[in-house]
Structures are given as structure tokens and as C-alpha cells.
Structure 1
Amino acid sequence: MIQSNIDNISEKQWTELSKCNTANFFQSKVALHFFESVGTEVFTFALEKDKEIVVFLSGIIQKEKGVKAGLTSRAIIYGGPIISENAEEKNVLEVLAYTVSYLKKKAIYVEMRNLNDYGDYKEVFKKAGFEYVPHLNFHLDCEDEAVMRKRMSSSKLRQVKKSLKQGAEIKEAQDQKEIEAYYAILENLYKTKVKTPLPNLDYFIRMWKDKVAKFFLVIYKEEVLGGIVCPVLDNKVIYEWFVCGKDGAYKNIYPSILATWAAMDYAVKNDIPRFDFMGAGKPDQDYGVREFKSKFGGEQVEHGRFLNVTQPLLYKVGKTAVKILKSI
């Protein structure tokens, strides 16, 4: 039977889920409680067999406010579902079918943004109406600092050293004013370059206060020049969720590079074996961010995304609107 109340999942079952190869932070109890706490609509489906949760899937429904809501409502399953080794194909198919049935009137499309390898389940997803969409990412091995440095681009490593020598510092956020300063830089980045919706300031303040993620900031002359927001999964993986920097503000200070280095350095010092860059674009499209991320020495992987369009006409209209907004 499929259940939708995470309060019915025991601590032992959560622990077992975290040990699965497809476990990720965004399918954790911490992440779900955070999304609910900031008013995001959350959905959760778990299939139990012999007292074990063999398939777990959760996500959020995102939409813009007002008249745009109908054209922008989408169901995003960050990270992809957790699938136990004891799950049968029929179990996975049952949860996927239930998910689509539940969401078909709530969202224009359902998208799984995979952070792990689901290659063995492609056919199951296809049977459930999901199309595989190629999408790249980088996974960086952080187990050995010397090896990590060696794999990193010499120019990027040099820029890290220059920034630190010049007096730039990396530290964890200590007060709300620092979060506000970081957010101002991030908001400007999204308005001028990224051009996709960004959660409001309260979202980040709540994330910081509740210790949902690490906030590493780049400080120079007592000014916040950038930073990175990094959730951590059970000291197994650290994720680059949001990152920004006021590059070019000062000579020989490289905030964006230093912010990324902050997560890498934290991983090494805290025995976290993997740094997940959380996306590097589509393989058939030029993407400057992918070029930037590739310089840090990670392995390029293609775990892709799974897409199920529940309302084709609205999806087409919405997709066209997004392209227009990004081109402005």
C-alpha cells in the first residue's frame, strides 16, 4: 500500500532509506520539513513491503503568483526517488503511476531532476509515461585533498590562493545581516543572468536559522562578496544548491571561485566523500556554467531527468513564455 504521511515512517526506516544508492538530501525528512515550513506544497509517496520502505518519492509544487500560476505550475522531484535494492519493477511502476495520477490536475508537468544513476530503471519510467531528457552534472571526489587539488584547473587553484593571500576569508554565516547581504548578490544574479524564479529572502533566512544547509560566505574588508548554500546528506554528499559572487569588484579577489572552494574544503576537512554540483546543463547546448564547473576537477556524469507532461497544451505555452522571458 502507498502511504503519503511521512510521520508514519519510522526512524529505522528513514535510516535504511539513507543507505540506498539513490538516497539524496532532497528526499530526506529534513528537506521535506523545511519545504513545508516555508509554505511550499509538498507531496510524498512511500511503498512499504515487509516493513521496509522500498520506494520513496517526494517533491514540491512550484508556481508563480497571480494569473501566471496556471501556466507555471510544475511538480519538481529534486534528486529523484529513493529505490531500495529490494524493490521490484512493479513496486517502482506502482509509485510512479500513483504520482502521475495524483499530480495530473495539479501541475502542467512532473520533472525528476536526478542526482544519482537511474539507468537500470529507464524502461520502468518509460512505462509510466516519463521521457528521459539528457542532463549533465559533475561529481567531485573529496576523499583526498592532494588528489582533489591536482585534478583542479591550475588557473582556478591559483585564483583561490590569490584571493586568500589578498585577504579574502571564508566563513560560515553568523547573523541575519550576512544572509541578507548574500541574498542581495544572489538576487541580482538571478535577475540579470539566470532569469528563473528565486525563492524570497525569508526562505533563505529560515533555511539558515533551522540549519537545513551550510552557508559559506566570502568576506573581504568586512564585506560579503558572495557565498554558497550547501545541504549535506549524512556526511556522504555535500551539494551546491545556490552560489554567487561579486566577481570583478576587487583585484585578485575571485568570490565565485572561492565560494565553490569553500564547499570543497569543508568536504575534505569533514570526511564527506562527494561534492555534487547539482547540474551542468544539456549536453547539446553551450552552457557557460558547465565550463566554469568543469574547472574544479569533478567527473562529468549524465544522470538526466525524467519528464512527464500532464497537460501538453499548457506546457507548450508555458515553455514558450519562459524562453521569451529569458531572452529579455
Structure 2
Amino acid sequence: MTNTQTIHTNINSISSEQWDKLLDFGSANFFQTKKAFQFFKSVGLEPFIFAIEQEKQITLLITGIIQKEKGIKAAFTSRAIIYGGPILSKKANEQDILELLKIMISHLKNKGIYIEIRNLNNYSNYKNIFEKAGFEYLPHLNFHLDCKDEQTMRKRMSSSKLRQIKKSIKTGAEIIEAQSIEEIKAYYAILHDLYTTKVKTPLPDLDFFIKMWKDDIAKFLLVHYKEEIIGGIVCPIFQNKTIYEWFVCGKDGQYKDVYPSILATWAAMEYAHTNKIEYFDFMGAGKPNEDYGVREFKSKFGGDLVEHGRFIYISQPLLYKVGKTAVKILKKT
């Protein structure tokens, strides 16, 4: 660090103008915005921020949240999650990145079992820097879909998915934007059932989603059929660049010729094209060496398969090992 640089670990020391200017760089994403930071704080999560200022400009920024389950499980489930990865300006050099990573580790290593950076962009050119700081690279897949041209979008989709979308609409299903708390509750009930019976990982509570809708943090695109909400998708949007699939669900297999999860995914794609949003980010497609049904589902929508991976720093190896074993057991029950 030079004398002209300042390290920030508090959101109040960074101006909105400084932060917004940094969002013009290609590594920026919704989850690294001030709006996302403030939302996470408003719902009772513990967000964190680390940044470098040089000549009154923020050149490097990392922000994320501490996640943990409630009660006695907190000590065994606490982890620091950085959605998207750091924002790197052209002035962010190797020394600065390495130093900020070390500062972040020093602040967070006692707050959680591990620190995980879930990359939404390609950080392969910086892989050696993360490894020098003590992070391990884990391969992880994702799909990015170009939404600029609807005709091209349709051509790249599987014919079966196109037929199912057409059937759903012809049968009477429609895509709507959420207009009431009752609709959010109906959507959440479906999502909660999915996470309880199949996904088997922690899900934020209902208030998290209501607050998200009230504060316009994300678009709630719902599938409506016969006076009922039967599915939907929650999509944060970053500028006019990217729409994200954060949570998606549907009462699949319960209605003849209606495919709510497929229609919900299409809803985000159609919304992106209509509103001139360039890309749809599917927010993950599992590990490349493991079978993953969700990846097979997502692959049918015509996106490009990418491997931007994740970086993980394990601060408490024993608890991390116990936690991994517990998750595997939970998902099998």
C-alpha cells in the first residue's frame, strides 16, 4: 500500500458517487451494489465491505454477507459469502488485490467457518493472486444467456421447452408481476416446499422476500393460472446489463399442459429482452464432475455454459469438514 491509498471497511466512508462510478467496470454485478448492501442489512443480515481508495477513487471493492442458521446451529453454519466476486478497476494491481484479500481474511476468519467467493464473471487472470492469499479454486458451472435478440433466443432453446411454454400459455397460464403481499406469500409457500423437500438447504424467511418486493430489490415474475399463483422467479437486475435468477419454483406436474418452472424461467428471459437487458445469469449450474438435474434443466434454455468457479478460504477446517458431511446426510434424507 502506498501513502496515497486508503483502506475502507465501513460503508459510511465511501460516497455513493465513488461507488456508482466503480459499477461501470465489467466485473461489477448487482450483489456488489450499495442497494444490495443496504437491503441485506435491513433484513438483519451482517454485510461487510472492504475497499481501496486511491486519489479519491475506489479502485477495488469486495462486499458480502455473513450467513448462518439461527439458534444453536449458528456456530456450526456461519460463513462469509461474497456473491459475484470483487469489483476491479483498471487501477487495481496485483499487490492491491492481494493486500485487500489478506485484510478481508483477517477481519472475517473468526466470524465464520469459511469465506466463499461465488464468481459471476471470469477471474481466471487473478487466480494466482487468490491462491497467494490462501484461497482454493473450486470449479463451478453457470449459464449466461444473451437476451438481446428474441428470435435468436428462441432458436437456441430446445424445441421441447418452446412447446411447453406455448402449451402453458394456450392452456391459460400467464406471467404477471407481483402486485400484493398475498401473491408473495403464495409464491413463497411453493418455494419453501421445494427447499424443504428437494433442495434441502437453508432458505430466507418470508419477511426477507416481502421486504425485497416492497423495496423493489428484485422483480417478482409470477405464473398465474386459474386464480392461483403456481410458480415464479425472483430476479434482481443490474443496470441494463444483467438479470439474475435468484429463486425460482413451480408446482410442476400438477396441471395438465402447464409447466410453471419453465414458464417462470421464460418470464425472466422475455422480461430481459423487452426491457433491453443484455444478459440472463442463471446463478449457478453445479460442479462439473457431479450429476446435477438443475444443470440439465437450465441447459435447455440456450445459454452458454461457463466455468467461472468459486474461491474458498477455510478458516476452521474441522468444522468445515463436519459441516460438509452434515449437508450430504441432510440431502439424502
Q: Which TM-score band applies after superposition, normalised by the shorter structure?
A: over 0.9
Answer yes or no: is 1:165 the counterpart of 2:163.
no
Q: Which amino acid aligns with 1:83?
A: L
Q: CA deviation at 1:8?
A: 2.5
Instruction: After superposition, give the CA deviation of every residue in 1:264-289 in whole Å (9 maximum; x if it has no partner).
Output: 00000000000000000000000000
**2:112 aligned partner:** 107
> What residue is the counterpart of 1:52 in the other structure?
57
Structure 2 match to 1:313: 318
The answer to whether structure 1 residue 18 and structure 2 residue 17 are counterparts is: no
Map residues 92-103 of structure 1 onto 2, 5 A cutoff. 92-103=97-108
Give the partner amino acid of 1:231: P
Q: Distance in 1 between matches of 2:67 and 2:297?
A: 28
Q: Let me know the Cα RMSD of the aligned residues.
A: 0.8
Give the distance between the partners of 1:221 and 1:141, measured in 2 at CA. Answer: 32
Amino acid at match of 2:331: K
Identical-pair percentage: 68
Post-superposition shift, 1:154?
0.7
State which of 70, 81, 87 in structure 2 corresponds to 1:82. 87
**TM-score (structure 1 length as normaliser):** 0.99
Shift of 1:151: 0.4
The equivalent position to 1:222 in structure 2, one of 227, 242, 246, is 227
Please give the alpha-carbon distance, in whole angstroms, between the structure 2 residues aligned to 1:70 and 1:201: 23
**Alignment of 1:179 onto 2:184:** yes
- Partner of 2:83: helix, strand, or coil? strand
Q: Secondary structure at the match of 1:125?
A: helix
Task: Name 2:308's counterpart in structure 1.
Answer: 303
Do residues 247 (structure 1) and 252 (structure 2) align?
A: yes
Local SS of the residue matching 1:132: strand
Distance 2:70 2:45 in 1: 13
How far off its partner does 1:220 sit? 0.3
Report the Cα distance in structure 2 between the residues aligned to 1:93 and 1:29, rounded to whole angstroms: 23
Q: Which stretch of the first structure deviates more once superposed, 10-19 or 263-272? A: 10-19
**Of residues 134, 139, 150 in structure 2, which corresponds to 1:129?**
134
Unaligned runs of 5+ in 1: none
Q: Deviations over 1:193-228 (max 9, x none)?
A: 000000000000000000000000000011000000
* Counterpart residue type for residue 82 of structure 2: I
Structure 2 contact 141–309 (Cα < 8 Å) conserved: yes
Corresponding residue SS for 1:253 = coil
User: Does residue 33 in structure 1 map to residue 38 in structure 2?
Assistant: yes
**Other-structure match for 1:9:** 14
CA distance in 2, matches of 1:46, 1:321: 35
Structure 2 residue 282 is the aligned partner of structure 1 residue 277? yes
- Residue aligned with 1:199, SS: coil
Cα separation, 2, equivalents of 1:322 and 1:197? 10
1:21 & 1:204 partners in 2: Cα distance? 28
1-structure distance, mates of 2:275, 2:123 = 28
**Could you give the per-residue CA deviations for residues 130-162 of structure 1, whole angstroms, max 9, x where no partner exists?**
000000000000000000110011110111111
Pairs aligned (count):
328
TM-score, with structure 2 as normaliser: 0.97
1:62-73 alignment, distance < 5 Å: 62-73=67-78
